[in-house]
Amino acid sequence: MTRLIYLDYAATTPILPEISQAIIRCFSIEGDFGNPASQSHHYGWDAAQHITASRQHVADLIHATPQEIIWTSGATESNNLAIKGTLDHYKNQNKHIITSKIEHKAVLDTCAELESLGFEVTYLQPELGTGVIHPEQVEQAIQPNTVLISLMMVNNEIGTLTDIQTIGQIAHQHKIIFHVDAAQAAGKAFIDVQAMHIDLLSLSAHKIYGPKGIGALYVRREVQKQIKTQIHGGGHEQGLRSGTLATHQIVGMGEACRLAKISLVKEQQRIQKLRNQFLAGLQALTPVQLNGHPTAHVANYLNVSFLGEQADAILSAIKQVAAVSSGSACNSHHATPSHVLNALGVTEELAANTVRFSFGIYTNEENIKDLITELKTFLRSSKKAVRFSFS
């Protein structure tokens, strides 16, 4: 079986070889397999040193301090800890949260749960077509009882960037805790939690060529005492998240963050060229509609709706050649249209003919040319078939 061209990096990324090797060294008796909490022998000391180094790598990527990095099982847990941990202090107090209609389900479902407990949530409407959340929208939505703003930096379906720095300034001025889901932003966009006035920031390793099952939550030192623990048992991670630390996964995430920081600028430039080339190739072949902002985006994502009578057939042709997504991986098992596209004003019919292409480190010019060539061949053959049917 011929392997498909992988263009679904937004769903997950392969682990880089050097990261795999670092992970493997933490498994065996000859390696650093010890429990980092065991401080009576060198097995535990060695593992703890790896944890410390990895925490520093994550902190360096987002311009934080190591003491502000809390290990979690992934961005979903980080989002839950950030939002529920903040709001747990305000039970039965009718407090208010601001988020948007195009957040990841880990945020939307958490906010829906809090609504059922009596909290009020404002879901901001993004700009139609682009998905932009404007800072003035956020400021206008603030109420006297607003305690949390939760917005993603890069949308996981369309790649649109949010003006986090301006929104962070607004939150800071109003003394509101600001949470950012940066699962799709890390390694793709510059992040400085200090300059951006971010209090809580969610990260995931498997979006940046690290292992699945590990993530982190940045918690600004000044707000750590305001976050209520969600997983109890041992008081690990500044008392915010108990559980034996998975040294191998943490080492993998640390290495992924270290490498991401080094390659960010050049990799974005390289992928942007491929994205431009691919979009131009699609537009030359068939009518398409771009979903997302034309310039305020990371290079890695391209979300397009195919127009015209052949749209459904073109989608089928693409999926025979490339591994792509019709939405976010978390929602791909649902038959309903993407909530992101719906919020952007994309019709249900058009949403059904939409593809998210996402590019990564192994994407090259040959992949782009091969996919465009396959589509050209398909369109030529379909035109011949139409002519034949009328002859």
Q: What is the mean pLDDT of the chain?
A: 93
143-160, pLDDT tens digit by residue? 999 999 999 999 999 999
pLDDT band per the 50, 70, 90 thresholds, residue 56? very high
Q: Quick check: 179 pLDDT over 50?
A: yes
pLDDT band per the 50, 70, 90 thresholds, residue 230? confident
Say which CATH class 5-11+263-386 falls into: alpha beta
Reported pTM: 0.93
Name the residue with higher pLDDT: 134 or 231: 134
Res 233: pLDDT: 86
Determine the average pLDDT of the residues in 328-335: 51
The CA distances from residue 7 to 4, 142, 227, 261, 370, in Å, are 9, 39, 38, 22, 13
Determine the average pLDDT of the residues in 325-350: 78
pLDDT band per the 50, 70, 90 thresholds, residue 315? very high
pLDDT band per the 50, 70, 90 thresholds, residue 90? confident
pLDDT band per the 50, 70, 90 thresholds, residue 191? very high
Q: Average the pLDDT over each of 68-72, 74-78, 226-230 and give the range with the smallest value.
A: 226-230
- 5-11+263-386 shares its CATH topology with 17-260: no
Residue ranges per structural domain of the chain: 5-11+263-386, 17-260
pLDDT above 70 covers a percentage of the chain that reads: 95
pLDDT band per the 50, 70, 90 thresholds, residue 94? confident
Res 329: pLDDT: 45
Determine the average pLDDT of the residues in 126-136: 98
Domain topology for 17-260: Aspartate Aminotransferase; domain 2 (3.40.640)
Residue 330 catalytic? yes
Q: Quick check: 356 pLDDT over 60?
A: yes
Res 327: pLDDT: 52
Res 383: pLDDT: 61
- Cα gap 213→342, rounded to integer Å: 30
Name the residue with higher pLDDT: 331 or 299: 299
pLDDT band per the 50, 70, 90 thresholds, residue 334? low
Q: Quick check: 85 pLDDT over 80?
A: yes
Among 26, 111, 257, 330, the one annotated catalytic: 330
251-307, pLDDT tens digit by residue? 999 999 999 999 999 999 999 999 999 999 999 999 999 999 999 999 999 999 999
Q: Are strands 177-181 and 146-152 parallel, antiparallel or unpaired?
A: parallel
Res 314: pLDDT: 92
Return the structure tokens found at 282: 């699609």
SS (H, E, C) the chain: CCCCEECECCCCCCCCHHHHHHHHCCCCCCCCCCCCCCCCCHHHHHHHHHHHHHHHHHHHHHCCCHHHEEEECCHHHHHHHHHHHHHHHHCCCCCEEEEECCCCHHHHHHHHHHHHCCCEEEEECCCCCCCCCCHHHHHHHCCCCEEEEEEECECCCCCEECCHHHHHHHHHHCCCEEEEECCCCCCCCCCCCCCCCCCEEEEEHHHCCCCCCCEEEEECHHHHHHCCCCCCCCCCCCCCCCCCCCHHHHHHHHHHHHHHHHHHHHHHHHHHHHHHHHHHHHHHHCCEEEECCCCCECCCEEEEEECCCCHHHHHHHHHHHEECECCCHHHCCCCCCCHHHHHCCCCHHHHCCEEEEECCCCCCHHHHHHHHHHHHHHHHHHHHHHHHHHC
1-13, pLDDT tens digit by residue? 578 999 999 999 9
